[in-house]
Chain A
Amino acid sequence: MGKYIINRLLLVVPVFFGITLITFIMAHSIPGSPFNSERLPEAARIQIDHAYGLDRPLYEQYFIYIINFLRGDWGPSFERQGNQTVTEILFGYRSAGESGVPFWLQLLAVTAVAWLGLLAWGAVRSATSKQMLAPFFKRWVLLVTIVALVGYIVFVIFTLDTSNAGGFLFSLRLGILAFVFMLLVGIPLGVIAALKQNTWIDYTLTTVALIGFSIPSFVLGLLALIAVVVINSLTGTNFSIAPSSPSTFDLVLPALLLGTREASIIARLTRSSMLEVIRQDYMRTAQAKGLDNGTIAVKHGLKNAFIPILTVLGDRMAGLLTGSVTIETVFNIPGIGRYFVSGILAKDYPMILGTTVLYALMVVFINFVVDLLYGYFDPRISYAKGSAV
Chain B
Amino acid sequence: MAKISSERGLNGSGAENNDEARVVAFSSYDALSARPSNSLWQDAWKRLSRNKLAMAGLVVVILLALMAIFAPWIARYEPDHPFYDSTSPKPYNEQNYQPPSLDHFMGTTGQNYDLWARVVYGSRISLSVGLVVQAIVLLIGLPLGLIAGYFGGWLDSLIMRVVDIFRAFPYLLLALLFLSIFGSSIIWVYIAIAVSTWPIMTRIVRGQILGLKHKEYIEAARAIGVSTPRVLLRHILPNLLGPVIVAVSFGIPEAIITEAFLGFIGVTGDPSTPSWGRLIAEGRDAFQSNPPTILIFPCLMVVLTVMSLNFLGDGLRDALDPKQGGGSKSR
Chain A residues within CB distance 8 Å of chain B:
11, 14-15, 18-19, 22-23, 26-27, 29-31, 197-198, 203, 206-207, 210-211, 213-216, 218-219, 222-223, 225-226, 229-230, 271-273, 275-276, 279-280, 318, 321-322, 325-326, 329-330, 340-341, 344-345, 347, 352, 355-356, 359-361, 363-364, 367, 388
Known: A15-B168, A218-B260, A356-B177. 4 other contacts (CB 8 A): A275-B326, A279-B8, A359-B170, A364-B168
Interface majority SS (helix, strand, loop, mixed), chain A: helix
Instruction: Give chain B's interface secondary structure class.
Output: helix
Stretch at the interface among B69-77, B81-89, B218-226, B304-312: B304-312
User: In the assembled complex, which residues on chain A have CB atoms less than 8 Å from the CB atom of B325?
Assistant: 272
A and B contact pairs by CB, cutoff 8 A, 9 listed: A30-B177, A198-B329, A210-B310, A214-B310, A223-B296, A325-B172, A344-B180, A345-B180, A359-B169
B146-187 interface bits toward A, Cβ cutoff 8 Å, 1 = contact, 0 = none? 000000000001000110110111111100111011010000
CA distance A191 to B81 in the complex (A): 53
Which residue on chain B has the smallest CB distance to residue A207?
A: B53
Asked if A222 and B178 make an inter-chain contact with CB atoms under 8 angstroms apart, the answer reads no
In the bound assembly, the distance between CA atoms of A358 and B183 in angstroms comes to 25
User: Is B306 touching A360 in the complex (CB atoms < 8 A)?
Assistant: no
Among A14, A230, A364, the residue within 8 A (CB) of B292 is: A230
Interface centre among B173, B261, B284 (most CB of A within 10 A): B173
If the complex has contacts A15-B165, A19-B168, A29-B181, are A225 and B326 also in contact, measured as CB distance less than 8 A?
no
B137 contacts the other chain (Cβ, under 8 Å)?
A: no
Interchain CB contact under 8 A, B311 and A210: yes
Contact call A219/B326, Cβ cutoff below 8 A: no
A15-B164, A226-B295, A363-B170 known; A31 and B181 CB under 8 Å?
Answer: yes
Chain A residues within an 8 Å CB radius of B180: 30, 344-345, 347
- Whether B165 contacts A222 by the Cβ 8 Å rule is no
Does A341 lie within 8 Å of B176, measured CB to CB?
A: yes
A321 touches B170 (CB 8 A): yes
A261 to chain B, nearest CB (A): 10
Among residues 259 to 313 in chain B, which have CB atoms less than 8 Å away from a CB atom of chain A? 260-261, 264-265, 267, 280, 283-284, 287-288, 292, 295-296, 299, 302-303, 306-307, 310-311
Chain B positions within 8 Å of A325 at CB level = 170, 172-173
Contact B288 A229 (CB under 8 A): yes
CB distance from B58 to the nearest CB of A (A): 14
Question: Which B residues have a C-beta under 8 Å from some C-beta of A?
Answer: 5, 8-9, 53, 157, 161-162, 164-165, 167-173, 176-178, 180-181, 183, 253, 257, 260-261, 264-265, 267, 280, 283-284, 287-288, 292, 295-296, 299, 302-303, 306-307, 310-311, 314, 324-327, 329
Known contacts A222-B280, A272-B325; A340 and B302 CB within 8 A of each other: no
CA distance A59 to B168 in the complex (A): 23
Asked if residues A30 and B303 are in contact (CB atoms below 8 Å), the reply is: no
In the bound assembly, the distance between CA atoms of A275 and B325 in angstroms comes to 9
For A355, the chain B residues whose CB sits under 8 A away are 173
Task: Judge whether A14 and B165 touch: CB under 8 Å.
Answer: yes
Contact B295 A27 (CB under 8 A): no
Contact check, B307 vs A214: say whether CB atoms are below 8 A apart.
Answer: yes
Most chain B beta-carbon contacts within 10 A, residue among A207, A356, A361: A356
**A276 to chain B: which residues have CB within 8 Å?**
326
Question: A26–B142 Cα gap in the complex (Å)?
Answer: 25
Q: Is the CB of B5 within 8 A of A279?
A: yes
Check B306–A216 contact: CB distance below 8 A.
yes
A283 shortest CB reach to chain B, Å: 11
Q: Check A215 against B307 for contact (C-beta < 8 Å).
A: yes
Whether A344 touches B168, Cβ cut-off 8 Å, given contacts A214-B253, A216-B306, A276-B326, is no
A347 to B, closest residue via Cβ: B180
Residue of B261, B302, B325 with most partner-chain A CB within 10 A? B261
